Structure 1
Amino acid sequence: MTAPSNDERSLFTLIGELPDRVSDLVRAEIDQVKAELSYKAKHFGIGAGLIAAAAFVGIFLLGTLIATGILALALVLPAWAAALIVSGVLLLIILILVGIAALNFRRGSEPLESIESLRRDLDMVKGTGDYDRD
Structure 2
Amino acid sequence: MTRVTDRQPQHSESSARTEPVEHAEHSVGELVNRATEQLSQLIRDELRLAGLELAAKGKNAGRGGGLLGAAGAVAYAGLMAVAGTGVAALSLALPVWAAALIIAVVLYAVAGVLALAGRSRLAKAAPPLPEEALGSVRADVEEIKERAHR
Q: TM-score, normalised by structure 2?
A: 0.44
Larger radius of gyration: 2
Q: TM-score, normalised by structure 1?
A: 0.49
